[in-house]
Amino acid sequence: MHFKNLSLRTRLFLAMIFLVIIASILIVIVTITQYKEQGKDYNEGRLNRKGNAIKKNVDYVLSKTTFEVKPEKLAAIFKDKINELSEIHSLPLNIYDLSGNILISSKGYFSKKNKPLKLADSILAKLENSTNKQVVYKLYFNDHTRHVVYTYLNDEKFKPIAILNVPYIEDNSFNNKELNEFLNKLTIAYIFVLLIGITLAYFLAQYITQKIKEVSDKIQQTQLHKKNQRIEVNNASEEIAILVNAYNSMIDELEESAQKLAQTEREHAWREMAKQVAHEIKNPLTPMRLTIQSFQRKFDANKPTAKAELNEFSNMLITQIDTMSSIASAFSDFAKMPTQHKEFLNITETIKHSIDLFGKPYISYFHETKATYANADKTQLTRIVTNLIKNANQALEDQENPKIEVNLLDNGTAFSIKVADNGVGIPEALKDKIFEPKFTTKSSGMGLGLPMIKKIIESYKGSIHFSSTVNKGTVFTVTIPKK
């Protein structure tokens, strides 16, 4: 998992543990380096002290000898003294002539098998060119380091007469032992510190993020349509206080915005409900107007069937007036619209009356049985049929051969009404929204009426669905149980 994807609490915890570990590693590195530098300084200082002491002792022997101080006499001069000096200083000693040949060596330094060789010309040249007339070589072996010192021995006139060689092996065992003991103690101390650091880091991370978590929990609980609580914190850090103040300011603004939004939604809902009521009232008004105009043109009071036509005309008007009256009565309580008033109804005849209101010759009506009866609300059934026919009629605008077919099917326990047209069809993008109230769009053919009749049909435990092809037509199917 990426470090940035971890929670702030985990990142703080890991960061503090990382700092403790890094600090421990740096201290160990500094300690080991310091011990090595200290050992190096100790050995170099010891070598210088030993060299100076040996040089003084050798010079003292030369000053007290009864022999003439010459290169060829050095072996005799130091015959008895070189081993004594070697034992005093616990170091082997070798004396070479100026050409690099061995003159004398301390006892025990070499055997017959392992004898000091002649000095290399490079050593002689380097010694001759050195400013302090001394050369130190450092040789590394598997388990130790050897320092080899070459310096001149001078006569009483400070003229070089020989070369003194002092091999010195560094003894770091004490330092190494001390270092190991110190590191062991340091390791125990670091483990203890690490455990304390982990504990402190955990609780410190908890403490730092506690207030942030409170703010986070409050933000997650924040909702637009409810009363949100402000956050009150005490003894918070400056950063947390800024965050809390920003959240509280947001809550105040959110509450004010929620109140404005609620007011706007209420006003919008009333406007849309008024649109729906007006839409539903207009549904019967259009066929009523057409029917009255047709009746005015065709009615002849002298015809023998005049009275029957007048009665039929009056019944159709009364049906539509009842429809508008029920809508107007339910305007004050939209949730109760539609209220059912079931009766044993002739479904076939009711649908026929609804179709006759439109007076359109291209509307055809087909039914399988002579009469289908069911328990239903006449006003609501009329609204369903007139709404579907009106929507189909609107889809036929500018159609050369308009056609609407209404089919009544009876399967015994339920009846189905199919309204098909050959109009413009419903675009694919609108099919999922066809039964949604159009709160933000204009009322049109299949807009506000369909949600209302869907609600009526569902109150009967019925169903409504449709199939449509653009530029070919639409078929709406309503199925309602008879009881």
Average pLDDT over the chain, rounded to an integer: 77
Highest mean pLDDT: which of 70-84, 260-274, 467-481? 467-481
pTM tops 0.85: no
* Domain 272-481, CATH among 3.40.50.11540, 3.30.350.10, 3.40.50.300, 3.30.565.10: 3.30.565.10
Tens-digit pLDDT profile for residues 202-221: 777 777 677 677 667 766 77
* Whole-number pLDDT of residue 333: 42
Q: What CATH number does the domain located at 91-171 have?
A: 3.30.450.20
140, pLDDT greater than 70: no
Tens-digit pLDDT profile for residues 147-206: 788 888 887 777 888 888 887 766 556 666 777 787 788 788 878 877 887 788 777 777
* Whole-number pLDDT of residue 76: 77
397, pLDDT greater than 90: no
Highest mean pLDDT: which of 55-64, 301-310, 472-481? 472-481
Domain positions in the chain are 1-64+172-209, 91-171, 272-481
The proportion of the chain whose per-residue pLDDT surpasses 70, expressed as a percent, equals 77
Give the 3-state secondary structure of the chain.
CCHHHCCHHHHHHHHHHHHHHHHHHHHHHHHHHHHHHHHHHHHHHHHHHHHHHHHHHHHHHHHHCCCCCCHHHHHHHCCCHHHHHHHHHCCCCEEECCCCCEEEECCCCCCCCCCCCCCCHHHHHHHHHCCCCEEEEEEECCCCEEEEEEEEEECCCCCEEEEEEEEEECCCHHHHHHHHHHHHHHHHHHHHHHHHHHHHHHHHHHHHHHHHHHHHHHHHHCCCCCCCCCCCCCCCCHHHHHHHHHHHHHHHHHHHHHHHHHHHHHHHHHHHHHHHHHHHHHHHHHHHHHHHHHHHHHCCCCCCCHHHHHHHHHHHHHHHHHHHHHHHHCCCCHHHCCCCCCEEEEHHHHHHHHHHCCCCCCEEEEECCCCCEEEECHHHHHHHHHHHHHHHHHCCCCCCCCCEEEEEEECCCEEEEEEEECCCCCCHHHHHHCCCCCCCCCCCCCCCHHHHHHHHHHHCCCEEEEEEECCCEEEEEEEEECC
* Whole-number pLDDT of residue 440: 32
